[in-house]
Structure 1
Amino acid sequence: MSQTLADSIYQTLQEALLQRIPEQRLITDETRRLAYGTDASFYRLIPKIVVQADNLDDVVFIIQTCGELNVPFTFRAAGTSLSGQAVSDSVLITLTDNWRNHTILEDGEKIRLQPGVIGADANRYLAPFERKIGPDPASINSCKIGGIAANNASGMCCGTAQNTYKTVESMKIVFHDGTLLDTSDSQSVNQFKQSHQHLIEGIQSLCNEVNENKELKSRIAHKYRLKNTTGYALNALIDFTDPIDVLTHLMVGSEGTLGFIAEITYHTVVEHPNKASSLLVFSDIETASNAVTALSKTPVSSVEMMDGRALRSVADKPGMPDFLPQLTLEHCALLVESRAADQDTLDQQCKTILSSIAEYDVPHQVAFTSNANTVATLWGIRKGMFPAVGAVREAGTTVIIEDVAFPVERLASGVRELQALFTQYDYNEAIIFGHALEGNLHFVFTQGFDSSEEVERYGKFMDDVAQLVAVKYGGSLKAEHGTGRNMAPYVELEWGTDAYSLMQRIKTLFDPRGLLNPGVIINDDPHAHVKNLKPMPKADDLVDRCIECGFCEAVCPSRTLSLSPRQRIVMYRELSRLERDGSTERYAELQKAFDYLGVDTCAATGLCADRCPVGINTGDLIKKVRTEKYKRFTPIATWTADHFSTVTAMTRFGLTTNKVMQTTLGQKALSSTFNGLRKLTKGRTPSWHENFPVSNSTQVEPSAVAKEKKVVYFPSCASRNMGNAVTSDDKHSLTEVTLSLLERAGYQVITPNSLKSLCCGMPYDSKGMNSIAKNKSEELQAALWHASQHGKIPVLMDTSPCTKLSKEQFSQTMNIMEPAGFIMEHLIDALDIKPLDETVMLHITCSSRRMGLADTLLKATKACAKEVIVPEHIECCGFAGDKGFFTPELNESALSPLKTQIPDGCTRGFSNSRTCEIGLTHHSGIPYRSILYLLDEASRPRG
């Protein structure tokens, strides 16, 4: 429908929306519409307008405004949906970060959540109560509650008993006309029943019809013995009699086609603290399937099935069990987990589980274990399968993961026939794995859409899959991923004409003009699933494996300012396509936008790689782009590297001048002068604020007296040159504090030769100046190798980013440590520590996270203060070296959630990166210092 609307309609809509929605939350430029409009599916629709709703009133206004102009609209949460339900060629409505509120109810028995809450965060809020939400999708660290509820997402342990449909208590819903219903509020319910009598009566009529049609009622009940998200939740018509209850449960899994879920209250489920896992390998799929039936009668929490091809796809990965490479394609494995409230019960459960399958031959196994490392390895097998296929696919193809359910008693034959279809259609890389207790299987294969032949192959394959699963076996074509556009043409095939007619009537009742997410679930086009297919053009080896899933987005510091890693890759792919096609005008336009949105505002921290299923570090791509962008500055950069001591001396002089000017002119005048100059130079000079550092006058000298305990101390160039701000009440520099602390702990401090000229290479590495960065790194390595007596003496670097880069770049083996690691390994037992009786904030740097030291930093801080608060939703501060000075909006955006999370009475924070602490101080309103300051204050010499 949206494709037939004139551009003038969207112009009118844009002007109308601007009456309430600020311009910065109304995205209309072609570049960002492409980037923001992309989701995890293999469909591509580019919205005409992207609107970012900040609150409930915004949502109501947007819906009503679109309704007045008869313009379709689609809601988007995290965009991790796989079936095409979160893309639009009309209006795409997304949510700002203001939709993340939650309320714990009844000691964790319930939780009220806004749709912008990430699933894993909800579980984190419930963890102190040993509870969790029922749904546990694989994307739980990225997907949001709005999407979880709208798709009725489940997961490995959720099954059909704990999904949203079964655990929802109440909702706030916005309907097609902007009406708000709170199903937990009797007054709201009564008003709605009066104002929407037609809808209520329509629901009652549908319920009556279904309950009078015994055959249809029986079919609906049968279908929901399995996991099933194909079409609307028709089970609501037979499970409930109150129209409000029916309405609430119809909203679950409706994929934004019936209304907007503005809030949901869940009944939570128990999260048992004791868990054990085992990997059981059977000779064939038939034996494994029989074992699933036996296991289903025991206290298992999950049983994951993996076929022979799936096991082979990860057999060569590090840490896999020794027997994995020996398995054939006939083998089939079950990954079994059991959970209990105490260890004795868990041990007994494991014995019961193994007894139930004693009659089956298990040629290979990893016995039940609760060892964290072994359990992580076992689940790493299962979680590594999807990316394993993605990692080996040809550039230009996409990874498709389908999601079906067979009756459990026919699981083996269903798998066999699926495998036969793979062979028939030449999907030789296809693998099968899934949630065996529910007969829910995922199959993953690679597909190109760059030719009509490939599209035809995919279409015929899906036709045969639909016949096999839905018709022959009476299964579900979508068990947990949602219908979307992907299975909309097959809904009637699976359900039958009478049931499909019910779904059409439900859609009309809730959305009489068909404006809510058209084309999803109900779609009259039998070829909709092979239209609007997303191109995946080859762009760069660094990112060609990206499947655009969006798992990276939650940890990206620039995601609310400019682009997320997924969106950067989308834009970069489009640039590559335009360049190949010779579209010079559009290429130049997009390149100009990408310079800022993609390159200048990327912190290049690499946090995205830790979340990416295939390990892509989008920062590496951006550094590569910067290599070309900053090429003309190479001679200057080379000079600074060769004369580093001179450059740092100039830096200290500049910082000293800053102190003098701030003292004499005052902060207001200095801010006006510096930031006025910044405007004149179009951002080429640094941004100034009152927390700008002054020069560090402390001389870092080696200890004069030899001692038994020794440490090589390498202060970063940031800490060597930067003291605290003029406004700081603590005038001690980091180097001064560090030297004092090491002296107190009884260490002889050794410093490397030519310290003033040394640098880890980070300033050059972040700009893609790889050869210069490598030279500085090698120079530092040689100096530290000599100072540490060839690696015998530990090396303390006082900032975590320098530590991380050096550990990655050095070829010589040295024990290089940042402050938290050094504290826990060398200082915690060497000092008498009395925790300070105060609450402190802690910022865990992205470099600490990437080195696996987040818990170490937290433990070190907790050893020194009674209460430690790590703020939510800040994985990286966005200061990113010098970007905090030259692209300060990145730092501001990344730290926007910080200030409101600082409790009353908390007066300071700590971290382990000098530059990060500048931005943290500026945007929090309290001073941030190195963790070494806290330890210095909390400790005394032992004895």
Structure 2
Amino acid sequence: MLPAPYDRVLTELRSLLPDARLITDPLRTLAYGTDASFYRLIPKIVAIVESEEEVVGLLRVTRAHATPVTFRAAGTSLSGQAVSDSVLVLLGDGWRGCRISSDAETVTLQPGVIGADANRKLAPLGRKIGPDPASINTAKIGGIAANNASGMCCGTAQNSYRTLESMRLVLADGAALDTGDAESRAAFQRSHAPFLDALATLGTRTRANAALSERIRNKFRIKNTTGYSLNALVDYSDPIDILQHLLIGSEGTLGFISTITLRTVPEHAHKASALLFFPDIAEACRAVTLLKPTPVSAVELMDRAGLRSIENKPGMPPQIKGFGPEAAALLVETRAESAEALAAQVDQIGAVLAQTTTIGDGAFTTDPKACEGFWKIRKGLFPAVGAVRETGTTVIIEDVAFPLDRLAEATVELQGLCAKHGYDEAIIFGHALEGNLHFVFTQAFDTDAEIDRYRRFMDEVCAMVVQRYDGSLKAEHGTGRNMAPFVELEWGPQAYGLMKEIKDLFDPQGLLNPGVILNGDPDAHLKNLKAMPAAHGLVDTCIECGFCEPTCPSHKLTLSPRQRIVGWREISRLTRDGADPARLDALSAAYDYQGIDTCAACGLCSTACPVGIETGLLVKALRGQRRGAVAQRVGDFVADHTAGALDVARVGLRLADLARRTVGPAVVERTARALTGGHIPSLPRALPTATNFTPLPDLSHTGHSSTAATPSVVYIPSCVSRSMGPAASDPEQTPLPQKVEGLMRKAGFRVLYPEDLAGQCCGMPLESKGLATQADAKADAMLAALRKVSQNGLIPIVMDTSPCALRLKKRLTDDGMKILDVAEFLHAYALPRLTITQTDEPVVLHLTCSTRRMGLDGALTAVARACSSNVVIPEDVGCCGFAGDKGFSTPELNAHALRHLAKDVPAGAKSGYSTSRTCEIGLSHHAGVPYRSIVYLVDSCSRAKAPESAF
């Protein structure tokens, strides 16, 4: 039951938004209310808006009831600016518009566009947006602009403030303004003349105060996101220009940005990087000062503690372990329009570096893999601390900036403060060209003593940054709740007074994100601290950053990986404490569907997670706990009788096909729903027919050795491929194992099969149900059979289904065995032995989760492009959400994951291709064209040629 006035607000919001987009249940308000900061506030209402009109209506309702509102984009912010205990407003799917100007000099973006997606669209044109935060693969444009986020290469010249062309915005009173439209500006000038006059007066008064104006200019010569963008008052005289630039960095406290147009910046293709080592911080910082005027794009500083935290990681130069206790490193990158220009820049930078003292080996390289390795080292610093922290603690990453000429002494002093307060694990790194340092440490908030330690530390840090160096307390992470009590300390009473005037002018009722940026409570940063209790060993290292969310097919349907962990942490805490049983019951009941049933367990979250967490493993473990002894016995039976279980599945498919042809799909669905007790509520249009593959007798024996002319290959069709044939509506009716075998023979391979093929299974269906013991037993049995037929790994082994290939590779402990996913086999072994005739017919390609996780998305794409000159990879599709059998039991997950697919299927496309038979069922259903294995495409475009090489 919501307290007043929230019950009245909810009632009125229901006239604007459907119930599905108004969230009040305890699980989702907790989960959706979480951001990447170390603060916890649980909203009363979470509202998901899809249009500017809905934002205006929502503000009208909340204003009428004096109810605070906080706008949230991706929730990757670190300073507590995106949490609320009132009404939290999230962006739905309707905010993903992206329009690039004809010359690509500007890009117009809605706030729901992920920064990296904007860059992907701009990349073919040689451009990108200026801001480049570390969270750019997750952070959305709305949050990037509202926080004036920067990053490693952005500096102070290419952030949102400096590259802003125009914006469309909504103020607290519901008024909308498009600053790039003359009519909108004129209308706003008529309707809001007193408001604009007041802004103009603020600007005139500020510019007339020479000391204050110079103070503001000096504060923004280095990175600074503490407080409001007061530079708008001295940089511009037009009140509308002042207005739109004040919204940059305002963290949703002054208005809502519904569209923004940014000037783009060059994205040079030619790059060179160098990882350089110095005897101490002082020499590294001296090098930074010398490098500042040279054509460097980024200079990243890493202190000795930071290097030590990652020195044992794969790819790290072994020399690091021998460096002294004061050593430091700089990661330097330079970019140019051409190879010749790049070489000249490297020479110029090298001449400057020759004036410094370095240790160890270090030189520029243009090798993309080496450069990528360097940047992985740099990006691994933050998670390196997060991954080794004690359970129950959180990771805090603070963000300050100093004048460049004092960076060395400030770094040493900061190291001293960390040691003084017992943060021995703390590391320091940052964007050295801008004097910007991040320091990372772990902190518990479960005792008064720990909270007091944090308070004393932050008091001393703030005093040091402001009083000794006149630096920025927040360089690029935003003020938030974390630094709001210290804004006046940094800026002084006169500038702070200006900020209060701005807030009062824009938001006289104080309803937009209250407590953020300006907060009169000196202890605000010590309240509403987020606890991080133990939940499960598989996920306890989660730092709740949200980087996983764009990869998750259930995100925005139910819960994302971050939100699943948040929910399970709270359930685990309540279970241990024995407190609030009613809340525990409510959370647990909701979690069954929201957390467990709708998780695809695809593992893509682990590829984006800074600490490598695969949330699906937690979900599978919980499924196993939930199933009980009876399910375990059923799992044992299925594992022991795999061939029989597949026969039963084939009978079901045959009956379903017969029934659909005789009584129609609707009757079949109703019958299936009734027979399964609702566990199969939907049957896709592309339901497979049954198949039962039997290898050709003359190719099913073992013992063959490879020769140069006729190499052997072991083929292990997945149990899905052996039981599920093409859909009845698919023009291609050859079962996949038969097609694979034929293609292998066409390419000149002798095909071998393991013994007891009918009973072989990698265990994937069992694992997805949480039956890990049975699943591993099946995988191990299959590996034993494959070891025998492959002559202990002498002959390569090919799997035709990517999820099964990944599972076997993960389970494999014998380095001598080579298991190839079908994409690997086609790319590296089959194509060189075939003559390909490329088609210009559009080919739609789906990169399965397993393909991505194995790093084979490039190989699969190359295979498709070898066969077609027109390969389309839908940009808004990641995991398809079919998840084995979830497409039958939880069809809404598949529908949600593929909700953007149909729009990306080009006219004239007759088919799509992938490497997972179950994924292809859902893809066919939602795309409107049949999907089948990539093997079919290669077979249709190829003919045999004489073999040129063996394995």
Unaligned runs of 5+ in 1: none
User: Do the aligned residues in 2 keep the contact of 1:422 with 1:430 (CA within 8 Å)?
Assistant: yes
The Cα shift of 1:359 comes to: 2.4
- The 1:704/1:387 distance shift into structure 2, 3 A limit, reads closer
Equivalent in 388, 397, 410 of residue 392 of structure 1: 388
Equivalent in 885, 889, 895 of residue 882 of structure 1: 885
1:279-322 CA-partner distances (Å, limit 9, x unpaired)? 11111111111111101021111110111111111111121011
Correspondence for 2:722: 720
User: Do the aligned residues in 2 keep the contact of 1:833 with 1:863 (CA within 8 Å)?
Assistant: yes
User: Do the aligned residues in 2 keep the contact of 1:167 with 1:267 (CA within 8 Å)?
Assistant: yes
Equivalent in 804, 807, 810 of residue 809 of structure 2: 807
> Cα RMSD over matched residues?
1.4
Correspondence for 2:778: 776
Query: Are 2:898 and 1:895 aligned?
Result: yes
Query: Are 2:714 and 1:695 aligned?
Result: no
User: Do the aligned residues in 2 keep the contact of 1:691 with 1:922 (CA within 8 Å)?
Assistant: yes
| Counterpart code for 1:642 | D
User: Do the aligned residues in 2 keep the contact of 1:307 with 1:329 (CA within 8 Å)?
Assistant: no
Q: Indicate the larger mover: 75-84 or 635-644.
A: 635-644
| Counterpart code for 1:863 | A
The DSSP-based 3-state class of the residue aligned with 1:866 is coil
Query: Are 2:593 and 1:591 aligned?
Result: no
Equivalent-residue separation in structure 2 for 1:389 and 1:766 (angstroms): 31
The Cα shift of 1:196 comes to: 0.9
Equivalent-residue separation in structure 2 for 1:68 and 1:733 (angstroms): 64
The Cα shift of 1:422 comes to: 0.9
Equivalent-residue separation in structure 2 for 1:357 and 1:734 (angstroms): 59
User: Do the aligned residues in 1 keep the contact of 2:204 with 2:237 (CA within 8 Å)?
Assistant: no
The DSSP-based 3-state class of the residue aligned with 1:335 is strand
The DSSP-based 3-state class of the residue aligned with 2:508 is coil
Correspondence for 2:30: 34
The Cα shift of 1:942 comes to: 2.2
1:175-230 CA-partner distances (Å, limit 9, x unpaired)? 11111111110000000011111210111011111111111011001111110000
Percentage identity across paired residues of the two chains: 53
Query: Are 2:71 and 1:68 aligned?
Result: no
Aligned positions of 1:175-254 closer than 5 A? 175-254=171-250
| Counterpart code for 1:616 | I
Aligned positions of 1:478-497 closer than 5 A? 478-497=474-493
Equivalent-residue separation in structure 2 for 1:62 and 1:456 (angstroms): 40
Query: Are 2:936 and 1:907 aligned?
Result: no
User: Do the aligned residues in 1 keep the contact of 2:787 with 2:793 (CA within 8 Å)?
Assistant: yes
The Cα shift of 1:729 comes to: 2.1
The Cα shift of 1:815 comes to: 1.7
User: Do the aligned residues in 2 keep the contact of 1:703 with 1:749 (CA within 8 Å)?
Assistant: no
The Cα shift of 1:658 comes to: 1.4
Equivalent-residue separation in structure 2 for 1:151 and 1:620 (angstroms): 34
| Counterpart code for 1:221 | R
Equivalent-residue separation in structure 1 for 2:618 and 2:698 (angstroms): 43
Equivalent in 548, 552, 558 of residue 552 of structure 1: 548
User: Do the aligned residues in 1 keep the contact of 2:673 with 2:679 (CA within 8 Å)?
Assistant: no
The Cα shift of 1:329 comes to: 2.8
Query: Are 2:664 and 1:661 aligned?
Result: no
Equivalent-residue separation in structure 1 for 2:828 and 2:416 (angstroms): 56
Correspondence for 1:381: 377
Query: Are 2:440 and 1:444 aligned?
Result: yes
Equivalent in 338, 346, 352 of residue 350 of structure 1: 346
| Counterpart code for 2:256 | F
The DSSP-based 3-state class of the residue aligned with 1:304 is strand
Equivalent-residue separation in structure 1 for 2:571 and 2:667 (angstroms): 44
User: Do the aligned residues in 2 keep the contact of 1:72 with 1:518 (CA within 8 Å)?
Assistant: yes
Query: Are 2:825 and 1:829 aligned?
Result: no
Correspondence for 2:949: none
Equivalent-residue separation in structure 1 for 2:304 and 2:591 (angstroms): 44
1:428-469 CA-partner distances (Å, limit 9, x unpaired)? 111110011110000011111001111111111111111111
The Cα shift of 1:365 comes to: 3.4
Equivalent-residue separation in structure 1 for 2:938 and 2:23 (angstroms): 47
The Cα shift of 1:585 comes to: 3.0
Equivalent in 604, 612, 626 of residue 615 of structure 1: 612
Q: Indicate the larger mover: 933-942 or 512-521.
A: 933-942
If the length of structure 1 is used for normalisation, what is the TM-score?
Answer: 0.98
The Cα shift of 1:698 comes to: 4.1
Equivalent in 264, 282, 295 of residue 299 of structure 1: 295
User: Do the aligned residues in 1 keep the contact of 2:473 with 2:483 (CA within 8 Å)?
Assistant: yes
Equivalent-residue separation in structure 2 for 1:572 and 1:704 (angstroms): 51
Q: Provide runs of 4+ in structure 1 moved above 4 Å.
A: 702-707
1:552-574 CA-partner distances (Å, limit 9, x unpaired)? 00101111211001001101110
1:254-297 CA-partner distances (Å, limit 9, x unpaired)? 00000000011110000110111111111111111111110102
| Counterpart code for 2:135 | S
| Counterpart code for 1:360 | T
Equivalent-residue separation in structure 2 for 1:13 and 1:782 (angstroms): 63
1:28-63 CA-partner distances (Å, limit 9, x unpaired)? 111110000000000000000000001221111111
User: Do the aligned residues in 2 keep the contact of 1:312 with 1:329 (CA within 8 Å)?
Assistant: no
1:104-150 CA-partner distances (Å, limit 9, x unpaired)? 10321111111011111111000011110000000011100000000
Q: Indicate the larger mover: 778-787 or 76-85.
A: 778-787
| Counterpart code for 1:900 | K
| Counterpart code for 1:844 | L
Correspondence for 2:796: 794
Query: Are 2:921 and 1:918 aligned?
Result: yes
1:804-835 CA-partner distances (Å, limit 9, x unpaired)? 00011022332211221111111111111111
The Cα shift of 1:703 comes to: 4.3
Equivalent-residue separation in structure 2 for 1:557 and 1:703 (angstroms): 44
| Counterpart code for 2:646 | T
Equivalent-residue separation in structure 1 for 2:376 and 2:683 (angstroms): 47
Aligned positions of 1:292-691 closer than 5 A? 292-583=288-579, 584-632=581-629, 633-675=631-673, 677=675, 681=677, 683-685=678-680, 687-691=682-686
Equivalent-residue separation in structure 2 for 1:459 and 1:388 (angstroms): 25
The DSSP-based 3-state class of the residue aligned with 1:838 is coil
The Cα shift of 1:604 comes to: 1.1
The Cα shift of 1:677 comes to: 4.9
Equivalent-residue separation in structure 1 for 2:747 and 2:301 (angstroms): 54
The DSSP-based 3-state class of the residue aligned with 1:279 is strand
The DSSP-based 3-state class of the residue aligned with 1:872 is coil
Equivalent in 860, 863, 866 of residue 863 of structure 2: 860
User: Do the aligned residues in 1 keep the contact of 2:127 with 2:266 (CA within 8 Å)?
Assistant: yes
Equivalent-residue separation in structure 2 for 1:727 and 1:848 (angstroms): 27
Correspondence for 2:88: 92
The Cα shift of 1:865 comes to: 1.3
- The 1:703/1:824 distance shift into structure 2, 3 A limit, reads farther
Correspondence for 1:764: 766
The DSSP-based 3-state class of the residue aligned with 2:273 is strand
| Counterpart code for 1:149 | A
The DSSP-based 3-state class of the residue aligned with 2:362 is strand
Correspondence for 2:940: 937
If the length of structure 2 is used for normalisation, what is the TM-score?
Answer: 0.97
The DSSP-based 3-state class of the residue aligned with 1:303 is strand
The Cα shift of 1:704 comes to: 4.5
The Cα shift of 1:391 comes to: 1.3
The DSSP-based 3-state class of the residue aligned with 2:363 is strand
Correspondence for 2:738: 736
| Counterpart code for 1:673 | T
**Aligned residue pair count:** 936
The Cα shift of 1:690 comes to: 2.4
The DSSP-based 3-state class of the residue aligned with 1:893 is helix
Correspondence for 2:854: 851
Equivalent-residue separation in structure 2 for 1:409 and 1:703 (angstroms): 78
| Counterpart code for 1:422 | C
| Counterpart code for 2:787 | W
1:415-437 CA-partner distances (Å, limit 9, x unpaired)? 11111111211111111100111
The DSSP-based 3-state class of the residue aligned with 1:106 is coil
The Cα shift of 1:726 comes to: 1.9
- The 1:161/1:658 distance shift into structure 2, 3 A limit, reads same
The Cα shift of 1:6 comes to: 8.0
